[in-house]
Structure 1
Amino acid sequence: LVPTMLVGERVYQRAKEHPEQLNPSTAEKALVIGPLLQKNLRDAYAAGVKIAFGTDTFGLSDHGENAQEFALMVRAGMPAMEAIKAATANAADLLGSADVGTLQAGRYADLIAVNGDPLADVRQLEKVGFVMKGGAVVKADGKPMI
């Protein structure tokens, strides 16, 4: 299951706050579907469905804003660590990628670091201060490396 929680939340908020920006039938549907996305994720997680983090936002958010999905997943009932696993190990597993998804010998890994504890506040993942990609530091102290 690849949740589209961020897209659903954005369209739901737009339908609530600015319904005139949407087709009337789209706004009406969004007001019904938005809360159902939360319920469906909560029910799927409770039933043991493996959840994978989705990043397809259809232009409703900028690149990198998909980290907001973590808070939506936690709000739907997933523990923060399970939401993080949805973006790493679960996503790799569901894509059939055996050489990514976890930190261990023989696997490829890009790393991020945040200043706070994402298990205590998953929104910390929205403020990435360090990124290592392919073994090279590409962001440090919150600034891109040139």
Structure 2
Amino acid sequence: GNAGRAYKAGVKIAFGTDQSASSDRNKAEEFALLVQAGLTPIDAIFTSTKNGAALIGAPQDIGTVQPGRYADIVAVAGDPLADITVLQHVEFVMKGGEVFKTGGRMAK
């Protein structure tokens, strides 16, 4: 596909989430599609983290988990580098230091 060809050509790919017609599950499935297209699992994850931050001009503030940076964090029960599909089953979500989802259930 086009994503695989672009990746092999050195194009930085960023994940888009502004589609109102897609669900969170569709977005999680996109990681698996990117891997099927030829991206490594870590590079598929980078599409939604550091690549996006760089493309919007904010790599100094977001995109990686480091002291002094803003981060929303998800946790899954598995290693997404070994099996990218574990990202389809988020167990924990933290945004702005507040837990929104834990154990697969909304915290609020």
**CA deviation vs aligned residue, 1:78-122 (integer Å, no higher than 9, x gap):** 000000011100001101123111011110001000001111110
> Percent identity of the aligned residues?
53
Q: Which has the higher helix share?
A: 1
C-alpha distance in 2 between matches for 1:140 and 1:58: 24
The structure 2 residue matched to 1:81, chosen from 33, 39, 42, is: 42
The aligned residue for residue 49 of structure 1 is 11
In the TM superposition, residue 64 of structure 1 has moved relative to its aligned partner by 4.5
Q: RMSD of the TM alignment (CA)?
A: 1.3
The aligned residue for residue 104 of structure 1 is 66
The structure 2 residue matched to 1:131, chosen from 74, 93, 97, is: 93
TM-score (norm. length: structure 2): 0.92
**CA deviation vs aligned residue, 1:62-87 (integer Å, no higher than 9, x gap):** 24531111001000000000000111
Q: Which runs of 4+ in 1 moved over 3 A?
A: none
The structure 1 residue matched to 2:30, chosen from 61, 65, 69, is: 69
The structure 2 residue matched to 1:118, chosen from 58, 77, 80, is: 80
C-alpha distance in 1 between matches for 2:25 and 2:62: 20
Listed as ranges, the gaps of 5+ residues in structure 1 are: 1-37
Q: Which has the higher strand share?
A: 2
The aligned residue for residue 92 of structure 1 is 53
